[in-house]
């Protein structure tokens, strides 16, 4: 894996840890935001493996779906997690400040699933000598 991909995965892991810490401290909305960013950075790592990059969140989500999910590289249900977390994050950041702790716990679990799938996909790509990235 490239240094840029490793950086994004490290950010993903830190984001998951921060999300757990925030949720444990009663900061559910902030935990959801960190959970989303953990998944977002993992998606960016996947795009970098394909030689792609995007500057807007919506563009990363779209490119991830088009270049990783649609070709069958990652399961569609895992791909949907990224969009769901994006929407949850928008609600948490810009909607009501009262977010149930259960919603944060669910978002963190989803982000963990997404990051794990992205890491597996990236590891598989780096082990296959016929695939550049």
Domain annotation covers residue 132: no
Please give the pLDDT value at position 128: 53
- Give the pLDDT confidence of 37-91 residue by residue, as tens digits: 999 999 999 999 999 988 899 999 999 999 999 999 999 999 999 999 999 999 9
Domain annotation covers residue 75: yes
Domain annotation covers residue 110: yes
CATH number at residue 75: 1.20.120.330
Domain annotation covers residue 133: no
Least confident window among 5-9, 18-22, 34-38, 59-63: 5-9
Domain boundaries, position 23: 3-127
Angle between helix 57-64 and 28-49 (nearest 10): 60
The residue among 4 and 75 whose pLDDT is bigger is: 75
Domain annotation covers residue 83: yes
Report the number of distinct structural domains present in the chain.
1
pLDDT at 129 over 70: no
Q: How far apart are CA 112 and CA 110, in angstroms?
A: 5
Q: Provide the 10 A C-beta neighbour count for residue 42.
A: 29
């Amino acid at each position: 894996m490239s240094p840029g991909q490793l950086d994004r995965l490290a950010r993903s892991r830190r984001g998951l840890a921060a999300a757990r810490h925030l949720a444990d401290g009663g900061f559910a909305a902030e935990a959801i935001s960190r959970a989303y960013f953990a998944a977002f950075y993992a998606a960016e790592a996947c795009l970098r493996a394909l030689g792609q990059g995007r500057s807007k969140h919506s563009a990363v989500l779209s490119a991830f779906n088009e270049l990783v999910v649609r070709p069958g590289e990652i399961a569609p249900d895992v791909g949907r997690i990224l969009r769901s977390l994006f929407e949850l994050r928008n609600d948490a950041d810009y909607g009501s400040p009262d977010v149930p702790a259960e919603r944060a716990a669910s978002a963190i679990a989803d982000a963990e699933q997404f990051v794990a799938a992205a890491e597996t996909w990236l590891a598989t790509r780096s082990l296959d000598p016929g695939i550049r990235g």
